[in-house]
Structure 1
Amino acid sequence: MSVSDPLLKSLKRFVLEFRTTNIVVTDDNENLAKLCSVLEEIFQKGIKKSKFFDKSDFFWSWVAKLPSFSKERCNPILSMVIDTVKESKKVTLDLGRGRLFIRSALMKKVLTVPVQIIAKNRQLAREVYYENDSILGNEILAEILQSLLFELTEAHFQLRIHNASFLDRTWNLPIYKQYELVPCDNLGLHVQYINGFLLVKAVEPGSVGEENDKIHAGDVIDELHGEALRGNKMSAVHNILQRYKGLPVHIHVIKGYDSQGNLYKPIHHLIEDADIDIATADELLQVKKSTSNGYKKPPHTILNEEEAEEIPVHGSEGGASHEAHYLGYVSLGIDGRVVRIEDSVQGVLKNHTQRVPVRIELTEKEVLVIDIKDNKTLLQHAYTEISACGRRTDQLQHIAYIAGETSCSLAKKFNCYVFEMKTNEEARFALCAIAQGFERTHLLL
């Protein structure tokens, strides 16, 4: 057999590109999928169906057992990557698990480790690969592969490992978005489980789900509050929402269109299999075109960060304090919905006649607004009385919360109270602190 192989030549080209350009390789890189496909072919070439590895003809079958099969202590980072892939609910086939492993190993810079193990363990190599028709089963080619993969560890991969739900089908991954929406009882999304995926059939106008053109019919809801939804039942989704009731909604969405504005093929197949009248291909494309032409819906109340982060909004004793200016309030009658924050903030900003320096104290059970000048309490609301909180996307320093005269389920008179924070970031922290207060109060009662 020649000491060269076309797959290694292809790999070398990618290694040179990523090493010499010194770029951060993200999912948007046009050559990433090609690189991953070449790596998959290298690991697959000449593989046997071994009785020791469940007679599978996918390389993942032997990689998955390396921590227990290897005589030496397995690399702890490699073991972590393998365990993460095993536990993932987003891939169900060995094909998809192998692909998720390649992406994860590139991120963690351990893709060369299984090659090193099989190169040293010739018994394992003979068990897994045909020597004359493989790369990993051939000593010389395996050494060349090790050198190339070692060079590849110098490249910086920054991949969205969460974006894995379609790896069973393709290397061409979809647009993946991570949103943080305001606390609410109803996202306004009509969904259907089809082939294990939660497909959005329709989005209610004026709902939290529709705000700022984030979620459309044809999108797939991939995660809620960090929990994968693939293969789950609707009851599991309701249970997740109930557990995190009162907190900002952390949601991961697979978009129905690709970067060129065309329907993402795997989702197109879901739409064809689903009983959906509205979410047709033409309508989805029209949504994409309207948003790309600069069309925007009126701004609604959202926390406005597309990339969710873990934010420590409370101190060690569970409280938080923020200085702000209290601008006034608007009476809403019996309507305490989150959608009222948009017009309420605008109304107060247009007509407010006061600007009182205050300190917002967020305790375990209530929100206190204290006049800094004379140290008097201006407002006092238990979290059970607060129905919503948020801010406009075009007025990020101004926050508001809606509270009733008693607990939300019984209240008949709601007011929206508006504040101006020092910075956009402090406004975000304060909103998250109020939202977290909902959950703590429910646990304490």
Structure 2
Amino acid sequence: MAPKDPLLGTLKVCVLNLQSDGDLVSDSNPHLASCCELLELVLRKGLQQPVLSLVHRDYWQCFEQLNQKDACGRLSALSLVVEQTRVCRKLLSAQGRGRFLLRLALSRRALPQLITHLLHTPRVLECYSPEVSILRNEEFVEPFMSLLLVLSHMDFKLDMENCSFLDESWILPVCETYEVVPCREVGMVLRYLSGRVFVLDLTPGGQAHVDKFLCPGDIIDEINGTSLRNSKNGQAGVVLSRLKGCPLSIGVLRWRARDGTVYRPLIKLLRALRTENPALQLGPATTQQSAAKDQNTSPSQCLKEGRIVYIVQFLGKANIGMYGGKEVLQNAISQVLQKNQPSKEVLVDLKETHLTCTDRNTELELFEHHYPEISCVGRFSQPDYTIFAFCVADSPETPQSTGFCCVALRAGSVQECEEIVCRVGEAACASFRKAVITHDS
């Protein structure tokens, strides 16, 4: 009877479990972390440490040596996988880079080729003990490669941006992106612990507090593609200051895991954070809290692609002539209301460069306007303070164009009406300033 390795037997069971869940494997798959951990154990088994070196050797150092160019002097496809791993700024250790490499190879269905390349590179293979290593045992290599081929036929859809905790754990946190239109103040109180940027609290009235997308205890992982991993005190503030008045894309790592409990690698750090903010609750989410998290907004708001979308009433629009300044706004709103157009419930989505209005029932887009097109925005002074409107230049293609039209809507509350007006106004002003700077340069 041929000898068996318990690692390969366990890996086979795990691969079969992944297969049983379907061809698509995402980060939420309960068997993914176990499969990756078993692959890691196979690659570490029999890995010998250098005699005259204080640096601990891990399997990443072996793959790093495979970075070779093809006959034309270009990086090969496998070498590109290794190079992408090497330059990732969210990883600080050989363990983290090795794990990132395995996830990337699974996503690109390149793991069999990567291992084959290692097996055919003698100077690298010599790092493994012939007596212990699976990679240097002919009877074990064949079944191992067969399992890798099975994995290569699966479709792995893994979030490669969510990799900051691979240095510590195969279990990754919930990762989301928070899109912020240009605003005066995001409104976050930040604390730096172990090279990570935590949200200690939210400033009342700030954009983060208004949007309710961030929670104390969450981690700011990156801003507009700039990684904040291993940040020094104040580094996030410097990045935000440099981007003041610009649209922001903030990568957020949640302190709650997918099951509602605390993400385990954060427990000690969150306890330290709670000494500064005693209001930070670290217990499991209750049913009410889970429901609140799912909604995460007021009844007049909803989430769409990581952004707050306002649920408002579209009251109609009217042509107002050749002037679209703020001095004509109140009269323009009255003109819209006098037309008594049927109102409809719509979704107003304030994106980075433009806003859209979509019929909530039919999901048809009613209009789209870039911020530079908006000449003014404001609330109705009387008698209904929840009505707001903006003036926008008519499209040149519009038949019988008269210059400007006024679009009027009703928000769910006076406060929300003010929020929308401020966000649109700030975004329009920022776009105008950017256009002026671009023109001058």
TM-score (norm 2): 0.71
Unaligned ranges ≥5, structure 2: 309-315, 342-365, 377-391
Give, in whole Å, the separation in 1 of the partners of 2:188 and 2:207.
9
Question: Is 2:423 the counterpart of 1:444?
Answer: no
Q: 1:330 to 1:139 in 2, by over 3 A?
A: farther
Q: 1:283 to 1:120 in 2, by over 3 A?
A: closer
Counterpart position of 2:5: 5
- Alignment RMSD: 4.5
Aligned pairs for 1:133-212 within 5 A: 133-212=132-211
**Is this contact kept in 2: 1:364–1:440, CA < 8 A?**
no
Question: Is 2:94 the counterpart of 1:94?
Answer: yes
Give, in whole Å, the separation in 2 of the partners of 1:17 and 1:56.
33
Give the deviation of 1:142 after TM superposition: 2.0
Give the deviation of 1:160 after TM superposition: 0.8
Give the deviation of 1:12 after TM superposition: 1.6
Give, in whole Å, the separation in 1 of the partners of 2:410 and 2:47.
57
Task: Give the alignment partner of residue 376 of structure 1, picking from 386, 393, 402.
Answer: 402
Counterpart position of 1:116: 116
Counterpart position of 2:380: none
What do the CA deviations read for 1:348-375 (whole angstroms, capped 9, x no partner)? 79x9445899995776998951274542
Q: 1:236 to 1:355 in 2, by over 3 A?
A: farther
- Look up the SS of the partner of 2:149 in the other structure: helix
- Look up the SS of the partner of 1:223 in the other structure: strand
Between stretches 90-99 and 20-29, larger displacement belongs to: 20-29
Give, in whole Å, the separation in 2 of the partners of 1:226 and 1:392.
33
- Look up the SS of the partner of 1:30 in the other structure: coil
Give the deviation of 1:402 after TM superposition: 4.8
Give the count of matched residue pairs: 378
- Look up the SS of the partner of 1:131 in the other structure: coil
What do the CA deviations read for 1:263-306 (whole angstroms, capped 9, x no partner)? 11222221233474325553675698524257755368898421
Q: 1:204 to 1:325 in 2, by over 3 A?
A: same
Give the deviation of 1:68 after TM superposition: 3.9
**Is this contact kept in 2: 1:96–1:168, CA < 8 A?**
yes
Q: 1:115 to 1:183 in 2, by over 3 A?
A: same
Q: What one-letter code is carried by the residue in structure 2 that aligns with 1:378?
A: F
Between stretches 186-195 and 353-362, larger displacement belongs to: 353-362
Give, in whole Å, the separation in 2 of the partners of 1:176 and 1:130.
39
Counterpart position of 1:43: 43
Counterpart position of 1:241: 240
TM-score (norm 1): 0.70
**Is this contact kept in 1: 2:223–2:248, CA < 8 A?**
yes
- Look up the SS of the partner of 1:253 in the other structure: strand
- Look up the SS of the partner of 1:102 in the other structure: helix
Counterpart position of 1:105: 105
Q: 1:252 to 1:134 in 2, by over 3 A?
A: same
Give, in whole Å, the separation in 1 of the partners of 2:112 and 2:368.
55
Between stretches 51-60 and 176-185, larger displacement belongs to: 51-60
Give the deviation of 1:31 after TM superposition: 0.7
Give, in whole Å, the separation in 1 of the partners of 2:168 and 2:61.
18
Give the deviation of 1:227 after TM superposition: 1.4
Give the deviation of 1:93 after TM superposition: 1.0
**Is this contact kept in 2: 1:190–1:203, CA < 8 A?**
yes
**Is this contact kept in 2: 1:212–1:300, CA < 8 A?**
no
Question: Is 2:77 the counterpart of 1:77?
Answer: yes
Q: 1:55 to 1:113 in 2, by over 3 A?
A: farther
